Structure 1
């Protein structure tokens, strides 16, 4: 099951939600303000990142600047606590399943959440189209 972490005013979150609905993909939406993030949620998200906290923190957000966090001097435990207290620190949307993670909305990247058989069918159609143009 895909979990979609969102906020109400996020345009990229709306795009991700619309894409999932249009492709008939089941998902569970968690509004990070209303359905408070847990330490477990953050640890699952971080376990799927390639660059750890660097991927999920919104360094351009006003809250990041207001809190004046020095990423070099803060422990992971402290950072998780700060994020739980200030969920707007994380980038959105975040889509995860048991083995994939996507932060932000990118129409090409989100396709990896399509079931494998549909991706194979689309690849086959694309290859046929390319061959027909030669």
Structure 2
């Protein structure tokens, strides 16, 4: 579901990645899966998935897309109400 494959979910700034002595691009997928199970710190967090979308990493605006539309509309109305009070 990512544009650049597994590269998009690997945290290259993590301590686990810095200590890695393996080139992830050279690993077969089954070995990469095993490595990620053994070293979950290699994954960027959070990873949020629904039936249509995937969000990797923290971005507040993009994460809000996962809230139901009804909730987003209520929050927008509340923000607008507060803005009108100023």
TM range (shorter): 0.7 to 0.9
Q: Please, what is the CA RMSD of the aligned residues?
A: 2.3
More helix by share: 2
Is 1:62 the counterpart of 2:20 in the alignment?
no
Find 2:35's aligned residue among 67, 82, 88: 82
Secondary structure at the residue paired with 2:60? coil
User: TM-score of the superposition, structure 1-length normalised?
Assistant: 0.49
User: TM-score of the superposition, structure 2-length normalised?
Assistant: 0.72
Q: State the aligned residue count.
A: 79
Rounded to whole Å, the distance in 1 between the matches of 2:50 and 2:41 is: 21
The answer for the alignment partner of 2:52 in structure 1 is 99
More strand by share: 1
RCO comparison, higher one (Cα < 8 Å, 6+): 1
The answer for the alignment partner of 2:65 in structure 1 is 112
The answer for the alignment partner of 2:4 in structure 1 is 51
Q: Which has the larger radius of gyration?
A: 2
User: Shift of residue 101 of structure 1?
Assistant: 1.2
Structure 1: give runs of 5+ residues left out of the alignment: 1-47, 125-134
